[in-house]
Amino acid sequence: MRLIPQSLRGRLLVSLLVPLALIGLIGLLNSRQEAATISTSVSDRVLAGSALAIAERVVVTENGTLDVDIPYAALEMLTSTAQDNVFYRVEGPPGNFITGYADLPRIPDSGPNVVEEIEFMDGEFRGTAVRIAMLRRAGSSGLAAIPFEVTVAETTLSRGLLSDSIIVNSAIRLALLIAAAIAIALISVSLSIRPLYRLSESIAQRSPSELGRIDDEVPTEVRGLVDTINNFMDRLGTSIDALRHFTGNASHQLRTPLAIIRTQLALARRATSSQQAKAALDDGDEAVVHAERVLAQLMLLARVDEAVSQTREADRVNLTLVARELVADLIPLACSVDIDLGYEGDQTVHVLGDEILLGEMLRNLIDNALKYAGKGASVTVSVIESGGLARLCVEDTGAGIPLHLQGDVRKRFLRGRSSGQGSGLGLAIVDEIAALFGGALTIGNGRNGTGLLAAITLPAAPDAQ
């Protein structure tokens, strides 16, 4: 069972009303204590007045004894409520009872010099709780002072009623205050969260394709959430636009080889000789190979996009070793197209990144050079480190890329050289992988202004500890 509500309205009300209820309970307990103090104080004043009134009527007779004429007013002030009973006693020198209730309890002496002071205590008389007041005084006969005590007691019913009345009135006022606070809290919470409902309605009314920013007025406390949503919508919109563009271009790139395959199959069916059928099938097979290459590049590009959207922990990669091994693996392919592929340099360079993605990056650069450099050309791979930067270069002696296209070859599906069967994704993949690990791709002419030089600059990894 959940004690804390899940709704924001419920949480706010609980956080406001629970402390208020605790404060109210503390206030009620304090009111009870105050009520008991006030009722006791009122009762004590009446008892003190009665004791003083009786003491004023105590006189010393001619024979030196004490006599008292109890005034009616002294007892009348004690009988203000019909429910209470009043008792009194006047006692002379110790053991000399004068008048009243002889068995009425007396307050023990507080000291030998306590005179003209009224003392109070709670007691019990004939099985009933009473409040007792006692005044010690001395009557003068002209020759000596004769001490006497006046004790007055009253049952506590009226005092309890007064205390209960104060408590009830305090409880009623406190209940009204809490009820008003609850009403104010309900109204205030409803008004405070109303902008959230408007925000919810505004978002719910949007179409799935509407990814614009949220401009609704919201409280300051919610502005951070709205800004976060807006940033997410911006990134989502950018991603969707890129996906649409990518999907459109990819479908265009795949449509061409598929159309070629269908055409060649149709030519093979209509061929009148086995040579014509074989030629058509060879052209179709070449189109299938091109389609496979495009699909492989698309899958690699999707992997790069996924890596960009995820937080990756870079590994320490020996870039020199990756380059040497890849060049060794591709030498047979280079020989098959009559291109001299080699590696130069003796430095060992490390970078931070993903070994597989860095290998694919270099593979695309070498593959691009092998496709477009032409027969008889040479392709040289090198890795150097200078000034805390690692530089990976692939240089060929082919025809190169026209200067006006060198800035655009990083774009997807754009080929910088007219010859070859490239997909237009190779350099785009290289550029995105380099950027993923904090690097950059530069395209320029090779040595002596001929050929093509593709260089990737990456932050060099610090020395291993």
CATH number of the domain residue 453 falls in: 3.30.565.10
Place of tokens 């030196």: 64
Q: 176 and 235, same structural domain?
A: no
Q: 73 and 91, same structural domain?
A: yes
Last residue of a domain, one of 273, 294, 309: 309
Residue range(s) defining the domain that contains residue 111:
1-204
* Global pTM value: 0.46
**Residue 420: predicted pLDDT:** 47
- Burial track 131-170 (b if 16+ CB lie within 10 A, e otherwise): bbbbbbbebeeeeeebebbbbbbbbbebbeebbeebbeeb
213 within domain boundaries: no
- Burial track 393-424 (b if 16+ CB lie within 10 A, e otherwise): bbbbbbbbbeeeebeebbebbebbbeeeebbb
Q: 143 and 46, same structural domain?
A: yes
Q: 239 and 162, same structural domain?
A: no
Place of tokens 């099938």: 281
Element housing 318 (H / E): strand 315-318
Q: 89 and 139, same structural domain?
A: yes
112 within domain boundaries: yes
Q: 154 and 137, same structural domain?
A: yes
Q: How many domains does the chain have?
A: 3
Angle between helices 319-336 and 355-372 (to 10 degrees): 30
* 461 C-beta neighbours (distance < 10 Å), count: 20
Q: 145 and 110, same structural domain?
A: yes
Rounded to an integer, what distance in angstroms lies between the CA atom of residue 296 and that of residue 292?
A: 6
Rounded to an integer, what distance in angstroms lies between the CA atom of residue 430 and that of residue 433?
A: 5
CB-side neighbour CA atoms (13 Å) of 269: 5
φ, ψ for residue 322 (rounded to 5)? Answer: -60, -45
Place of tokens 């409803």: 190
219 within domain boundaries: no
411 within domain boundaries: yes
Q: 432 and 354, same structural domain?
A: yes
158 within domain boundaries: yes
Last residue of a domain, one of 309, 337, 353: 309
**Residue 300: predicted pLDDT:** 64
Q: 370 and 254, same structural domain?
A: no
Last residue of a domain, one of 309, 342, 357: 309
- Burial track 35-62 (b if 16+ CB lie within 10 A, e otherwise): bbeebbeebeebbbbbbbbbbeebebee
153 within domain boundaries: yes
The pLDDT profile of the chain, 465 residues, written as one tens digit per residue, is: 455 566 777 777 788 788 888 888 888 888 888 888 888 888 888 888 888 888 888 888 877 778 887 766 666 655 555 567 888 898 888 778 888 888 888 888 766 555 568 889 999 998 888 899 998 888 776 667 788 888 999 888 887 887 888 888 888 888 888 888 888 888 887 887 787 778 888 888 877 777 778 777 777 777 888 888 888 888 787 777 767 766 766 666 667 677 777 887 887 788 778 887 888 787 777 777 767 766 666 666 666 665 555 555 678 899 999 999 999 999 998 998 899 999 998 889 999 988 888 888 888 889 888 888 888 899 999 999 988 899 999 999 887 777 666 555 556 555 544 444 555 566 777 888 888 888 888 888 877 778 888 899 999 988 755
26 within domain boundaries: yes
Helices (H), ranges, 56-107: 72-76
8 Å CB contact between 166 and 30? no
Please tell me the total number of residues recorded for the chain in this structure: 465
CATH number at residue 243: 1.10.287.130
Q: 114 and 47, same structural domain?
A: yes
To 10 degrees, the CA torsion angle through 223, 227, 230, 235?
A: -160
Q: 341 and 302, same structural domain?
A: no
Rounded to an integer, what distance in angstroms lies between the CA atom of residue 319 and that of residue 358?
A: 8
Rounded to an integer, what distance in angstroms lies between the CA atom of residue 116 and that of residue 143?
A: 20
215 within domain boundaries: no
Q: 436 and 324, same structural domain?
A: yes
